[in-house]
Amino acid sequence: MQTFSEPILAALARLTGQPLAQLKLERPRDPKLGDLAFPCFLVAKERKQAPPAVAAELAAALAGGLEGITVSAAGPYLNFRIDRPLLAREICSEVAIAGERFGSSGEGAGKTVLIDFSSPNIAKPMHIGHIRSTILGAALVRIFRHLGYKVVGINHIGDWGAQFGGLVVALRRWKGEVDLEGDPVMGLLDLYQRSKAALKDDAQFQAEAVAAYQELESGREGEVRELWRWVTEVSMRGFHATYARLGVSHELVRGESWYEPLLAPTLERVMAAGVTEISQGALVVQLGELDKSLKETPCLLQQTNGTTLYATRDLAALFSRWEEFGFERCLYVVGGEQKLHFRQLKGVLKRMQQPWEPRVEHIDFGLLLGPGRKKIASRRRGEVLVLDDLLDEVTEAAEKVIEAKNPALAERAQVAREVALGALIYNDLKRERIKDVIFDENEILSFEGDTGPYLQFTHARLASILRKAATNEDAALRSKPDWSALENAGEILVAIGRFGDVVRSAAAKAEPSELSGYLLGLARDVSTWVSSSDNRVLGTAGPEGAARVALVRCAKSVLGNGLRLIGIPTPEQM
């Protein structure tokens, strides 16, 4: 839409004397009023006039002056309507020329955004919370990249902490009793759960676990460090296999252990800033003066026994990230249950008067629940829900759906995998991230309604129309499009023109649902349009047919780009 908004804004700046950067166009509340709107309130305030009077005056001054654009005043608003043939020609050619880059911008040039996402814990398979973080984070990485930011996806693997003391002792005691060769990830989970139970009611086990963690933190080589290293390797292999299925990767895989050499300097730095206290033998930063609600929850940085905590490692990571990248934003895509943790971290930065503290954001999200808001269980393992099992189950179900819908499809297995991903990912991103997600296998795989497969199907349907048009005799593909044939596609074209704005807004709010909601609306409108007998694409000869084919091509391109930006594969047939 820039082609149209730029001359409008320039004319408004000239007429009102306002700086260009302050003038913003909106979407009219009712699309029948126009394609773009300018609210006159601010200008009216400045001029001490009534907004409707300003609107009327500006409308009169602009009349006839903007090529291909009709201006009208409605109350306090100025509305602009773009001539349909011009709109169709501009949007279709812009999309055709830009291709995958359509809607991108230079806003991120020279700026770095860090996205800490997925970040599972070793010795445990990825669970539900990590699923949401992985899907949301991967979508945000692509969205920011589309806007020209340098994006660094970071996997802050949980590979350090007191729990490893327990795991080491469990390995010593019960290694022989679990299947660590055949299924190491599940074998380790078993040991981890046993160690958790033992830590609760076995004093001997507890003492041994503390000693083991102290040994690990001492940095000495030996039995403990070797066990820890082995556990890390086995777990990372499992995670990588899962990421490959999801099509996800990170630029930096830096576990908590990576920050080990920075822990002592970080503690010194916080102490030197004069914000620490000793409370019951432990080193803490009090946050009550900053925020009353944090009065009872100071940030704990070092235990009485000298060991460090999750927060210590996150703080070390923050300083290291700031120094390495000088980030514009540092986003932590982590569930809402860690709210306190991130408030504490930001609190410590504030007390240390780090001016970049506002750039650190906790991108929190709701839970993933089963039908009836019950805890999701897996058919294979019941209580413990493992991301890989979930992927397997949805893929199997998708295979059945595809088999029933299109038994002749050549790449059935591949398409089923893609549809399963589409279902899972869209379900996760379709509402504001803070809301809980309900996972209902049958619902998310439906080809109709608010689902990933519906969007993928719409995209494949447009692809099929284009394939047929290309082989048709009267394909009209050689004709010059008659853009006036797209008179009734104005709203679709305006929506396509807004794509870049939607991506920008999704990035600003770190809210991929803005994009998924937009794509659903676009898919619905385009489906309705191509289904109408007035708009037959195939079999319409000449310039009229050419214009319709161009619209289908344009819509398919934008729908496909948008889906891939949020991580949803776009099969050409399904």
CA torsion, ordered 493, 496, 502, 503, to nearest 10 deg = -160
The answer to whether residues 27 and 12 touch, using CB atoms and an 8 Å cutoff, is: no
Contact segment (CB under 6 A) with ligand ARG among 114-122, 196-204, 402-410, 439-447 equals 114-122
Closer of 167 and 522 to ligand ARG (Cβ) = 167
Smallest gap from residue 311 Cβ to ligand ARG (A): 9
User: If DSSP codes are grouped into helix, strand and coil, which group holds residue 133?
Assistant: helix
Structure tokens at 285: 């930063």
**Candidate residues 332, 365, 426, 518; the one interacting with ligand ARG per rule CB under 6 A:** 332
The answer to whether residues 395 and 388 touch, using CB atoms and an 8 Å cutoff, is: no
Report the alpha-carbon distance of residue 423 to residue 308 in Å, rounded.
41
Q: Is residue 125 involved in binding ligand ARG (CB under 6 A)?
A: no
Contact segment (CB under 6 A) with ligand ARG among 117-125, 449-457, 482-490, 516-524 equals 117-125
Smallest gap from residue 439 Cβ to ligand ARG (A): 19
Q: Is residue 314 involved in binding ligand ARG (CB under 6 A)?
A: yes
Q: Is residue 192 involved in binding ligand ARG (CB under 6 A)?
A: no
Contact segment (CB under 6 A) with ligand ARG among 42-50, 119-127, 274-282, 383-391 equals 119-127
Q: Is residue 254 involved in binding ligand ARG (CB under 6 A)?
A: no
Contact segment (CB under 6 A) with ligand ARG among 116-124, 379-387, 450-458, 482-490 equals 116-124
Smallest gap from residue 256 Cβ to ligand ARG (A): 8
Q: Is residue 190 involved in binding ligand ARG (CB under 6 A)?
A: no
Smallest gap from residue 521 Cβ to ligand ARG (A): 33
Structure tokens at 193: 């759960």
The stretches of 17-127 forming alpha helices (DSSP H) are: 41-47, 51-62, 84-98
Report the alpha-carbon distance of residue 406 to residue 144 in Å, rounded.
36
Smallest gap from residue 370 Cβ to ligand ARG (A): 21
Closer of 108 and 120 to ligand ARG (Cβ) = 120
Smallest gap from residue 332 Cβ to ligand ARG (A): 6
Beta strands 282-285 and 276-279: pairing type? antiparallel
Report the alpha-carbon distance of residue 481 to residue 308 in Å, rounded.
68
Burial of 106 (0-12, 13-18, 19+ CB in 10 A): exposed
Smallest gap from residue 172 Cβ to ligand ARG (A): 25
Residue showing the smallest CB distance to ligand ARG in the complex = 158
What are the b/e assignments for 442-458, b being 16+ CB within 10 Å?
Answer: eebbeeeebbbbbbbbb
DSSP tag of 360: E
The answer to whether residues 210 and 168 touch, using CB atoms and an 8 Å cutoff, is: no
Report the alpha-carbon distance of residue 487 to residue 484 in Å, rounded.
6
Closer of 119 and 516 to ligand ARG (Cβ) = 119
**Candidate residues 43, 58, 89, 116; the one interacting with ligand ARG per rule CB under 6 A:** 116
**Candidate residues 119, 395, 458, 540; the one interacting with ligand ARG per rule CB under 6 A:** 119
Report the alpha-carbon distance of residue 121 to residue 238 in Å, rounded.
11
The answer to whether residues 158 and 255 touch, using CB atoms and an 8 Å cutoff, is: yes
**Candidate residues 5, 79, 121, 561; the one interacting with ligand ARG per rule CB under 6 A:** 121
Closer of 258 and 332 to ligand ARG (Cβ) = 332
Total number of residues binding ligand ARG (CB under 6 A)? 9
Q: Is residue 453 involved in binding ligand ARG (CB under 6 A)?
A: no
Closer of 25 and 114 to ligand ARG (Cβ) = 114
Report the alpha-carbon distance of residue 4 to residue 35 in Å, rounded.
10
Amino acid code (one letter) for 256 = E
Structure tokens at 566: 């949020």
- Strand (E) or helix (H) holding 70: strand 69-74
Report the alpha-carbon distance of residue 124 to residue 165 in Å, rounded.
15
Structure tokens at 531: 């289904």
Smallest gap from residue 562 Cβ to ligand ARG (A): 28
Smallest gap from residue 133 Cβ to ligand ARG (A): 7
Contact segment (CB under 6 A) with ligand ARG among 10-18, 115-123, 138-146, 165-173 equals 115-123
Structure tokens at 296: 């009872």
Smallest gap from residue 22 Cβ to ligand ARG (A): 38
Contact segment (CB under 6 A) with ligand ARG among 113-121, 263-271, 351-359, 432-440 equals 113-121
Phi, psi of 66 (to 5 degrees): -110, 120
Smallest gap from residue 390 Cβ to ligand ARG (A): 17
Residues near 103 by beta carbon (within 8 Å), at least 6 away in sequence: 146, 499, 500, 502, 503, 558, 561
Contact segment (CB under 6 A) with ligand ARG among 38-46, 118-126, 221-229, 431-439 equals 118-126
Report the alpha-carbon distance of residue 100 to residue 146 in Å, rounded.
9
Closer of 334 and 419 to ligand ARG (Cβ) = 334
Q: Is residue 458 involved in binding ligand ARG (CB under 6 A)?
A: no
Smallest gap from residue 516 Cβ to ligand ARG (A): 24
- Residues 153-172: x where in contact with ligand ARG by CB under 6 A, - otherwise, as a string: ---x-x--------------
Contact segment (CB under 6 A) with ligand ARG among 112-120, 145-153, 413-421, 552-560 equals 112-120
- Strand (E) or helix (H) holding 279: strand 276-279
Instruction: Tally DSSP H helices, then E strands, for the chain.
Output: 20, 13
Q: Is residue 497 involved in binding ligand ARG (CB under 6 A)?
A: no
CA torsion, ordered 82, 86, 87, 92, to nearest 10 deg = -170
Amino acid code (one letter) for 21 = A
Binding footprint of ligand ARG on the chain (CB under 6 A) = 116, 119-121, 156, 158, 314, 332, 334
